Amino acid sequence: MIAKKLLITLIGYYFLVLLQASFFPCLFSFYFMPNLVLLSVFLWNFFESKKSLFGIVNAGIGGFYLDIFSNKFFGFYFLISVFLAVIIKFVVKNYVKTPWVKEI
């Protein structure tokens, strides 16, 4: 199950990063381009089961891809997305209740 999730994440984020680096520059201005990977990291961690820690691994993979396709130092996006995932997990665990959402 985890292997399947990991494979989907690896392929999914690669696809999102490619979209962000090649497809969106043609449609959006350089300054108003959505960061799909960070958005996905946020959504995944928000709706994921409170007990699961896969969201943090997921964030790490997303951040790693962003680091590859940006000219910032390696680890910049990795740390940002992992930090984002940890914060969301903490907030969701302690302050948010979403009974209508089926946990992944």
Partner 1 sequence: MILEKYQKRKKIIAFFLIIVFLGIALLFQEGIKNCFYTISLPFQKFFLKQGTKISNFFSSFGKLKELREKIDSLEKENYSLSLQIANLKELEIENRELKKALDLNLQKEFNLVLAEVSGKDIGTKDTILITAGKRDGVLEDMPVITPEKILVGKVVKSYKNFSEVALLSKKNFSFDVKIKSKEEQNKKDISAIAKGEGNSEISLDLVPLTAPVSKDDIIISDNMGKIFPKGLLVGYIKDIKKSDTAVFQKIKAQHIFDIKKQRTLFVITGYKE
Is residue 67 within 8 Å of residue 20, measured between CB atoms?
Answer: no
- Residue of 8, 11, 25, 39 that binds partner 1 (CB under 8 A): 25
Q: Which residues of 32-62 are buried (b: 16+ CB within 10 A; e: fewer)?
A: eeebbbbebbbebbbebeeebebbbbbbbbb
- Residue of 6, 24, 47, 52 that binds partner 1 (CB under 8 A): 24
What character string, x for contact with partner 1 (CB under 8 A) and - otherwise, covers 65-94? -xxxxxxxxxxxxx---x------------
- φ, ψ (nearest 5 deg) of residue 78: -55, -50
Q: Cβ of residue 28: shortest distance to partner 1, in angstroms?
A: 9
Task: Name the site residues for partner 1 (rule: CB under 8 A).
Answer: 17-27, 29-31, 35, 60, 64, 66-78, 82
